[in-house]
């Protein structure tokens, strides 16, 4: 079974802090994704990566950056957290050839106070 | 740009009743269409997908969906709902040209409540 794990289920940070969200997948998938999920807005793509050190902006990249130094790990970075970044963050991965079949982690619920 | 509309925010059905969740999409070419399900506290799981061919596709957990090009719809159905089907359901559309265009566009979701 594909397993996508996220470093924390719940996280509380203060405004202005630098926040790291980590995602690890164990199926040698080329693609990895970070989404943000908000009630009434569905899932919105923040960034994705199709290879080590490669990244592409999604729909809402502002205020975020990413890092992919190893194939299995994809990090989302909030350089200076703000209250409007309080949300559920979902990581996903997929094979290059079947990019649409994405396997999701359980999510990290981030609260910025 | 592609987009997805799920007209129903919340649907309540009785256990054993039939279910239909609506999805309308907008995309210039033949779309790739998907339904994902998110159980409480879980990530999303792919239920079924449509690329081409037979317009009625079968998925996991007894779900099926029908692609209707003339209506730009991809509705999800189940003949008899079980209490464990209570979850949030997301319709998604994807561009099929690969490359760096890996984006899935998700609808806002439909929350399904199942009454005993």
Q: Using one digit for the tens of pLDDT, what is the confidence trace for B53-76?
A: 889 999 999 999 999 999 999 999
Query: Among the listed ranges A46-50, A88-92, B103-107, B111-115, which one has the minimum average pLDDT value?
Result: B103-107
User: Which pairs count as long-range contacts for A64-69, CB under 8 Å and 24+ apart, including other chains?
Assistant: A64/A34, A66/A34, A68/A32
Contacts of B49 in chain A (CB under 8 A): 100-101
pLDDT in tens, A55-76: 999 989 999 999 999 999 999 9
Cβ atoms of B33 and B67 within 8 Å: the answer is yes
Share of chain A above pLDDT 90, in %: 81
B108 touches chain A (CB under 8 A): yes
Q: Which of B1, B6, B32, B44 to mutate to test the interface with A (most CBs of A within 10 A)?
A: B44
Q: Are strands B110-115 and B10-14 parallel, antiparallel or unpaired?
A: parallel
Determine the pLDDT at residue A2.
64
Quick check: A108 and A88 in contact, CB under 8 A?
yes
Q: Is the predicted pLDDT of residue B83 greater than 90, yes or no?
A: yes
**Looking at residue B2, what is its pLDDT?**
81
Q: Does residue B28 have a pLDDT over 80? A: no
Q: Cα dihedral sign for A42, A47, A51, A52?
A: negative
């Amino acid at each position: 079974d594909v397993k996508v794990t996220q470093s924390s289920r719940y996280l509380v940070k203060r405004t202005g802090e630098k926040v790291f969200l980590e995602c690890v997948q164990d199926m040698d998938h080329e693609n990895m994704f970070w989404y943000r999920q908000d009630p009434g807005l569905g899932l919105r793509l923040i960034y994705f990566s199709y290879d080590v050190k490669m990244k592409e902006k999604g729909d809402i990249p502002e205020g975020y950056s990413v890092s992919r130094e190893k194939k299995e790990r994809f990090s989302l970075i909030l350089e200076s957290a703000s209250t409007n970044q309080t949300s559920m963050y979902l990581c996903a991965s997929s094979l290059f050839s079947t990019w649409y079949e994405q396997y999701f982690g359980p999510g990290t619920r981030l609260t910025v106070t | 740009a592609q987009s997805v509309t799920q007209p129903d925010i919340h649907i309540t059905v009785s256990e054993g009743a039939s279910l239909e969740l609506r999805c309308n999409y907008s995309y210039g070419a033949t779309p790739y269409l998907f339904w994902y399900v998110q159980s409480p506290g879980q990530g999303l799981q792919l239920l079924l997908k449509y690329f081409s061919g037979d317009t009625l596709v079968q998925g996991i957990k007894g779900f099926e969906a029908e692609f209707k090009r003339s209506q730009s719809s991809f509705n999800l159905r189940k003949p008899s709902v079980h209490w464990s089907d209570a979850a949030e359901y997301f319709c998604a559309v994807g561009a099929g040209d690969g490359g760096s265009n890996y984006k899935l566009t998700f609808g806002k979701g439909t929350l399904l409540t199942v009454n005993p």
